[in-house]
């Protein structure tokens, strides 16, 4: 994937390995570019897995600070995406433990005040939102990382201490549950 | 299934990602970088501010504790130092009230001579100073001495309040009471024998500095003597006033150094 900016000016994802290396070595401009490209994906991930909306901003900021703080310790620039999402997920779990909110994805979609909120609540995505709401938080997380972000099973499982086989089985089951939920909702229309 | 749920999921995700303004992403990343890279510089000013605040609070606490001390206490010099600083800074004022409180503390401790000395040294009113000198000269002990010193303190407070309130009438009455205290003293401490020139109230022109009123011109006003004329005691009684009931106080009377001498008693 090209590391140059797209025609719209947005930075592309995943970032070029040269930029990742420069950021790791202390180039703050490169770090800003790399994390700036990852920021919208963080926001989308936290909304997509159904976090309470008032918590998303806090977790995003916390995750970004963790990445800035630990960037110099990234040993394998090739594994940047796995490293990025491992920090994102860890921060999410820490925040949820503090928050102790029940698993109610619909709480994420309060009143639309930001562009992403308006996207969430648009009719175009009502169906998929409703299907996701029928899944567990873990299923939503696995589906997002595998189907949206395209992480391989090793990247998804390695930071959690889960084997590749266990992650593969979990992802397969999550896919099945999403299909069933989707069909059930289509049938009820 | 009309639509593929995974295609729907990816479209949903893409729309969410595109919805986040790029400017906001840049701002949030910049803030995270600032937060992480500049924490130490913020700590030092906070530490300095905390230290300065702590010293300030300790200073105030020390001043507050020292404020209640009296002559002879360990912290009394500290209290006077704080007063000096206040005076230098122009924040001081009339300290009569404080001196009277300290004199009261000394009286409570039965240190009558020290209380009288403090009043002589520091009160501005010449009548009170003259009365204090007279009491020191008088042959009083025990409860008599205590009651007359307390009477004088009470009237001195009235004078201080009247002066502050610029109440001339009250002031005159209070000064009259002081003269009556002196009149009632045993022996020859009646007006005229306190060292004041007859006819004067004690405010000798040009001689109104604390401790100086009532002194015969040329008298040195030594600390333990009235320096003002004949003492109340006859020869042979000099030094006998050491039993005046005050603990630790020096004899109030008579030494060869007193201005009028001990032999001038009519």
A47-62 pLDDT tens trace: 999 898 888 999 999 9
Stretch B237-266: mean pLDDT: 41
Q: What is the pLDDT of residue B28?
A: 96
Measured distance CA(A157)–CA(A85) in Å, rounded: 11
pLDDT, tens only, A167-186 = 999 999 999 999 999 999 88
pLDDT in tens, B98-131: 888 888 888 888 888 899 999 998 899 999 999 9
CB-closest option in A44, A182, A183 to B13: A44
Instruction: Name chain A contacts of B18, Cβ cutoff 8 Å.
Output: 40
Residue A56, both tokens: 């998303």
Residue A182 with chain B: CB contacts under 8 Å:
1, 3, 5, 8
Distance, CA of A85 to CA of A158 (rounded, Å): 11
**Interface predicted TM-score of the whole assembly (ipTM), two decimals:** 0.88
CA-CA distance, A11 to A9, in Å (whole number)?
6
Chain A nearest CA to B87, separation (Å): 54
- The angle subtended at Cα B37 by Cα B32 and Cα B38, nearest 5°, is 105
pLDDT for residue B151 is more than 80: yes
**Cis amide linkage into residue A14, ω under 30° from 0:** yes
CB of A55 closer than 8 Å to CB of B23:
no
User: Which residue carries 């009438």 as its tokens?
Assistant: B169
């Amino acid at each position: 994937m090209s590391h140059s900016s797209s025609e719209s000016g947005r930075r592309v994802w995943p970032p070029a390995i040269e930029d990742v290396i420069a950021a790791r070595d202390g180039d703050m401009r490169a770090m800003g570019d790399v994390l700036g490209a990852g920021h919208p994906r963080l926001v989308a991930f936290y909304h997509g897995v159904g976090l309470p909306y008032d918590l998303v901003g806090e977790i995003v900021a916390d995750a970004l600070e963790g990445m800035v703080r630990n960037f110099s310790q990234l040993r394998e620039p090739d594994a940047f995406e796995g490293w990025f999402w491992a920090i994102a997920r860890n921060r999410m779990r820490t925040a949820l433990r503090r928050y102790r909110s029940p698993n109610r994805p619909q709480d994420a979609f309060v009143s639309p005040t930001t562009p992403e909120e308006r996207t969430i609540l648009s009719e175009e995505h009502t169906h998929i939102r409703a299907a996701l709401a029928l899944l567990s938080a873990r299923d939503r997380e696995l589906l997002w990382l595998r189907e949206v972000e395209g992480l391989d099973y090793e990247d998804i499982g390695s930071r959690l201490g889960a084997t590749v086989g266990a992650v593969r089985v979990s992802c397969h089951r999550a896919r099945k549950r999403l299909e069933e939920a989707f069909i059930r909702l289509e049938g009820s229309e | 299934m009309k639509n593929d749920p995974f295609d729907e999921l990816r479209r949903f995700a893409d729309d969410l990602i595109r919805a986040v303004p790029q400017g906001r992403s840049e701002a949030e990343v910049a803030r995270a970088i600032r937060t992480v890279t500049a924490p130490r510089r913020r700590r030092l000013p906070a530490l300095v501010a905390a230290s300065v605040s702590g010293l300030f609070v300790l200073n105030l606490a020390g001043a507050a504790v020292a404020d209640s001390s009296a002559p002879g206490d360990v912290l009394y010099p500290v209290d006077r130092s704080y007063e000096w600083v206040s005076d230098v800074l122009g924040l001081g004022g009339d300290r009569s009230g404080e001196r009277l409180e300290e004199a009261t503390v000394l009286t409570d401790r039965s240190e009558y001579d020290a209380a009288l000395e403090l009043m002589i040294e520091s009160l501005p009113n010449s009548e009170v100073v003259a009365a204090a000198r007279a009491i020191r000269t008088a042959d009083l002990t025990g409860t008599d001495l205590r009651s007359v010193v307390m009477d004088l303190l009470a009237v001195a407070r009235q004078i201080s309040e009247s002066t502050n309130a610029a109440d001339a009438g009250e002031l005159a009455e209070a000064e009259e009471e002081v003269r009556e205290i002196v009149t009632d003293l045993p022996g020859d401490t009646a007006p005229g024998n306190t060292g004041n020139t007859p006819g004067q109230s004690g405010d000798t022109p040009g001689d109104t500095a604390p401790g100086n009123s009532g002194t015969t011109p040329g008298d040195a006003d030594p600390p333990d003597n009235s320096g003002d004329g004949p003492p109340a005691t006859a020869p042979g009684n000099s030094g006998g006033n050491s039993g005046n009931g005050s603990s630790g106080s020096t004899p109030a009377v008579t030494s060869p150094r007193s201005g009028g001498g001990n032999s001038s008693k009519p």
